[in-house]
Every structure is written in structure tokens, then in C-alpha cells.
Chain A
Amino acid sequence: MTENNAANAEQDELVITRNFDAPRALVFKAFTEPEHLKNWWGPKGSAITVAKFDLRPGGEFLYSMRHGDGREMWGKFVYREIVQPEKVVYVNFFSDAEGNLAPNPFQIPHWPQEILNTWTFDENDGKTTLTLRGGPINATSEERNTFNGMRGSMQEGFGGTFDQLDEYLAQAF
């Protein structure tokens, strides 16, 4: 299944839900074992190399991501909570090869540097619903505002679909 929908739960959080035609234990494994992660983590056409992987609270996943055009970026997770096979909580950010915080590539001033992510895995009839929640952590109020502007425009304001905005923009020119 590829149904994807976004709905807002709490303030400051972006929520994405996706259903997979696979048992929960497998989806959980795919996200928590480096030999699986390197097969799918990252955008299409990119390949990751795992530099560090330690799945426990306080442990780190440090990886480099090479894009099709040769660009290389580093990213890091710091795990906070692991409940097998239901839930993983981690903080992630763009980093350098040593795992230090690096500027994000979005080129937006005041975009939050660190995001707290919660992945929950629910099973129903052998299928899995994955819910991703992400929101800024250790953020300045400006960073939170920037994030909320994105979150709001993505979810509340334009109904998540952008249909109305598309229509408007089509008329505007």
C-alpha cells in the first residue's frame, strides 16, 4: 500500500502515516538493523555508508549519504528509546564525518537543526501502520516558528492537499 497522509496531532509536530503490506516485526527490523537500513534509507538514487551503529538509548547511527550527482552528506541519529517492535525515538541532524552538528542543506534561515522523531509501528492483520512524528528540539523560538510555518502550510492551512492552492495559483497567472 502506498497511502500516505499527513494530519497534525500536537503543536510543533509533523505527522506522517504510511501503511505497509508487511508484518510489524519486519518493518521494525528494516528500520533498526544497519544491513537493512543501508538498502533503503535516503532518497532514491542515493547510497548510504554506515559509519557507526549502536541501537540503544544514547547510542548513535552515523552515516554518509552519497547522492546520484556525487554530493556527499552526513547524518546522525542519537537514539533515545527503543521498544521492540513498537517504537523508536531518536534525535537526528545533519552532521560532519565526525558526527558534529552541521548546517542543514535547506538554505532557510532559522530552520531547526535538531529534530526529535518518534516512529511507531502498529500491526493489523499482518500489515503495518507506521506513524512518524517529527518536531524541533533544542530549538530557538525562531526555529520553532519556521518549522510551524512549514507544518501549518503542509497540514492545516491548505488541507494537506494543496488542491485549493494549486487552483488559486492556476488562476493567478
Chain B
Amino acid sequence: MNATTLRALADSNRLKIVELLLSGPLTVGEIVDRLGLHQPQVSKHLRVLSDAGLVEAEPSANRRIYRLRPEPLRELEDWVGSFKRIWDDHLDRLDDYLRELQTPE
């Protein structure tokens, strides 16, 4: 797991952009419209996401279309998943133990 990926996602607007792109590629203009942010802001966020390898741009006519790159997302999912599992595991054990304690002898 890569700290750059996490840092890039430590911003709620960038998370929203990633969420939007989960449904498919979009142009900067479309992202601007859907988030209600100014274009320079969106471009800045896209640059951070792109530097972290989370999105890539593809020129199309005179526009740039942004899409997600699955590799870092898969890595992120694995890592966050393992983090969640650690806690689920802990609490499952507590749950089992509490049941055991409450079982009549």
C-alpha cells in the first residue's frame, strides 16, 4: 500500500471525483458541473490524483477525458479490507467470548 494513494484521497473533493469516475470516464467540464466547484480547483485535484496514479487523462478532440486506473484502487481496496478485517476479527472474538461467559455451566 502506497502512502501517495492515501494522501491523494485524504481530501473529500478528491474522494468525490474518484466516486464520480467509478461510473465511467468524464471530462473536466462534466466533473466541474457535477461537483459545483470551480474549474481551476477541479484541475488541481485531478493533477494530484493523476500524480498518484489514480486517474489518467486521454485527449479526445480538444478535450481531456479522465478515467480511473484500477491498479492503485485494487491495492487500496485490499489494504483497507485487511484493516477492516483486523477489527472485525477482534470484535468477533469478543462476541464469541461474551457468549462463552454467558453460557450456563
Contacts and interface: CB of A to CB of B under 8 A. Distances in A.
A binds B: yes
Interface of A: 1-2, 4, 6, 16, 18, 20-22, 26-27, 30-31, 36, 39-44, 106-111, 130, 132, 142, 144-150, 152-154, 156-158, 162, 164-169, 172-173
B9 A169 contact: no
Given A154-B80, A164-B22, A2 B92 contact: yes
A168 B70 contact: yes
Contacts of A156: 12, 15
17 contacts: A1-B95, A4-B91, A20-B98, A21-B98, A22-B98, A26-B98, A27-B94, A43-B86, A108-B3, A111-B3, A132-B87, A142-B3, A145-B10, A157-B9, A157-B15, A157-B19, A173-B70
B80 A153 contact: yes
Contact of A2 (B12, B18, B83, B95): B95
B81 interface: yes
Interface size class, chain B: 35 or more
Nearest to A145: B10
Contacts, number: 126
Contacts of B101: 22, 26, 30
A1 to B, nearest CB: 8
Chain B's interface: helix, strand, loop or mixed, by majority? helix
A116 B73 CA distance: 28
A90 to B, nearest CB: 15
Closest 3 CB pairs of A and B: A149-B6, A157-B15, A172-B70
